[in-house]
Chains A and B, each alone.
Chain A
């Protein structure tokens, strides 16, 4: 199946990726080839098969629900591109 440029733009918008026109063209072509290859899966009868989401046996072990020391605020903010007053600083969401 061939993905159109519009479909590629839609996926890129969902994934929050800005693409150049050249990238849009290339991904339309390459993703179409990969999805064509994946189309062979549709021929497999899986009507009686349940999906595998994880290979871990259930239930997952849980740790006791006890408060433990966590990452200090200073360290959690240390990698932020911008921080101020103990908070992550981002561009304004609503203009005043």
Chain B
């Protein structure tokens, strides 16, 4: 096989089954491509070739056995090389969360999402770059350097799962895992021209995920199509006794039949705002027309409290983060600074957290502090209810909601400088799904004049991932934006 890294996950799964390529060959091709290209992209923080080759050998054994006895049912993930965002733990593999404070940390146990996919036969190539503790929209907040967008290396890949999105777009892996607390799977998927799923809150276990905002964090995946995401999603989803917030509901099968006739698609007027790039609005409206042409019923809807999502999120997420990040005290794991106990906490945290993480810890501490709790955190929790109610009302009328992922295509590295508020505004369209706990899928629906991808997202009611993936797949069956790949040269 000439270039196995050009295959989609499902194409690779078919080739593996047919014996046209082995998992060892596929894995070696990805590792070679990482060696050739990642110097210029910096999508990976850690590459794990020995582990990957051992997992590939085991997958090849399973595949050979299945070929001998064709009744053996193997999931399509067996032998598929993937990358994992560096906030998800793998046993004994360094996990940094993009932070210096976790330098040298080797988790004693794996995340449930990763462990389930390993059971399902995936090969893990390494850990991908992320904004520190997943706080950011560009990967510029990583303590280990920025990731470059494969479509234009002077631009960001989005964030915080920017390393995973860039790695998939550049063909360094078949697919990748990411996490989404305020858009961190969907926005990088949009900026890098790949398809990204943010499952419902509670659909995938958070056990072994380095916590950021515990009422918002979700584990998702990025790949070349909605169809490719299905086996990854099904491999991870379902109740985990180790995460009491994981949904006990059974996970229904996902049927991809291209049929969206009668599907009611809502287009919220509040998501087409002043200041967004006209090319984004045009591409999204055209994509909605494609769904209409396929037989969907499109209607204009209202989500009137959309403009509250940004202030609500940037109080609740930092408040939760300030509590979650209290564990980094230099006692049990990570690096330690300071000479005596009085200075140990202050110095460890002051020196080893980066600027954005400290900013959010400060913001959250303030929002939770005596005298300000009701005005900030309490009021944000109430306004969060209004945002949820908007969606509840909308889903009484429509099955899915279509809107842009971000107001712009990928912005330049350094463009937002030291202006956190302007960076937060990049998240305006992705935050509501996290606040309401809804599943959403982002996928490419066009390109701008500079050749940068434009993304659209679909939202569905809680636990309706199957409907979401079915609708995105129907669009991708009749369009080819998701098949385009960037032209890359070795650094």
Pair B350/A61 contact, Cβ less than 8 Å: no
The proximity string for B residues 408-436 relative to A, scoring 1 for CB distances below 8 Å and 0 otherwise, is 00000000001011001000000000011
User: B366 — which chain A residues lie within 8 A by C-beta?
Assistant: 3, 11, 31, 35
A51, B436: Cα distance in complex, Å: 12
* Known interface pairs A17-B346, A17-B361, A19-B350; A41-B108 also in contact (CB < 8 Å): no
A87 to chain B, nearest CB (A): 11
**Residues of chain A at interface, number, CB under 8 A:** 50
Which stretch from B12-20, B254-262, B376-384 is at the chain A interface?
Answer: B376-384
Pair A54/B383 contact, Cβ less than 8 Å: no
Beta-carbon nearest neighbor of A26 in chain B: B418
A30, B360: Cα distance in complex, Å: 11
Pair B311/A91 contact, Cβ less than 8 Å: no
The proximity string for B residues 342-363 relative to A, scoring 1 for CB distances below 8 Å and 0 otherwise, is 0111110111010100110111
A22, B353: Cα distance in complex, Å: 16
User: B40 — which chain A residues lie within 8 A by C-beta?
Assistant: none
**Residues of chain B at interface, number, CB under 8 A:** 73
User: A81 — which chain B residues lie within 8 A by C-beta?
Assistant: 330-331, 333-336
Which residues 37-96 of A sit at the B interface, judged by CB distance below 8 A? 37-38, 40-42, 44, 46, 49-56, 60-63, 71, 75-76, 78-82, 88, 90-93
B339 to chain A, nearest CB (A): 7
* Known interface pairs A56-B245, A82-B336; A88-B331 also in contact (CB < 8 Å): yes
A18 contacts which of B310, B332, B350, B418 (Cβ < 8 Å)?
B350
User: B485 — which chain A residues lie within 8 A by C-beta?
Assistant: none
Pair B363/A53 contact, Cβ less than 8 Å: no
A49, B305: Cα distance in complex, Å: 14
Pair B315/A38 contact, Cβ less than 8 Å: yes
A44 contacts which of B308, B315, B358, B462 (Cβ < 8 Å)?
B308
Q: Is the interface of B mostly helix, strand, loop or mixed?
A: helix
Pair B388/A63 contact, Cβ less than 8 Å: no
A78, B380: Cα distance in complex, Å: 40
User: B380 — which chain A residues lie within 8 A by C-beta?
Assistant: 38, 41
User: A14 — which chain B residues lie within 8 A by C-beta?
Assistant: 365, 369
Pair B336/A41 contact, Cβ less than 8 Å: no
B306 to chain A, nearest CB (A): 13
Pair B311/A56 contact, Cβ less than 8 Å: no
User: A79 — which chain B residues lie within 8 A by C-beta?
Assistant: 104-106, 108, 332-334
Pair B106/A78 contact, Cβ less than 8 Å: yes
Pair A61/B106 contact, Cβ less than 8 Å: no
A61, B418: Cα distance in complex, Å: 43
Pair A34/B363 contact, Cβ less than 8 Å: yes
Beta-carbon nearest neighbor of B336 in chain A: A81
Question: Is A12's CB within 8 Å of the partner chain B?
Answer: yes
Question: Is A33's CB within 8 Å of the partner chain B?
Answer: yes
Question: Is B109's CB within 8 Å of the partner chain A?
Answer: yes
User: A60 — which chain B residues lie within 8 A by C-beta?
Assistant: 244-245
B362 contacts which of A15, A18, A46, A82 (Cβ < 8 Å)?
A15
Q: A34-B421, A46-B385, A91-B339 are in contact. List 6 more A-B contacts (CB 8 A).
A: A8-B362, A26-B418, A41-B379, A44-B386, A52-B435, A75-B108
A-B contact pairs, 7 of them (CB 8 A): A19-B350, A27-B359, A44-B386, A55-B462, A61-B244, A91-B339, A91-B344
Interface residues of B (CB under 8 A from A): 104-106, 108-109, 201-202, 215, 239, 241, 244-245, 247-248, 307-308, 310-312, 314-315, 322, 326, 329-336, 338-341, 343-347, 349-351, 353, 355, 358-359, 361-363, 365-366, 369, 375-376, 378-386, 388, 418, 420-421, 424, 435-437, 462
Interface residues of A (CB under 8 A from B): 3, 8, 11-12, 14-19, 23, 26-27, 30-31, 33-35, 37-38, 40-42, 44, 46, 49-56, 60-63, 71, 75-76, 78-82, 88, 90-93
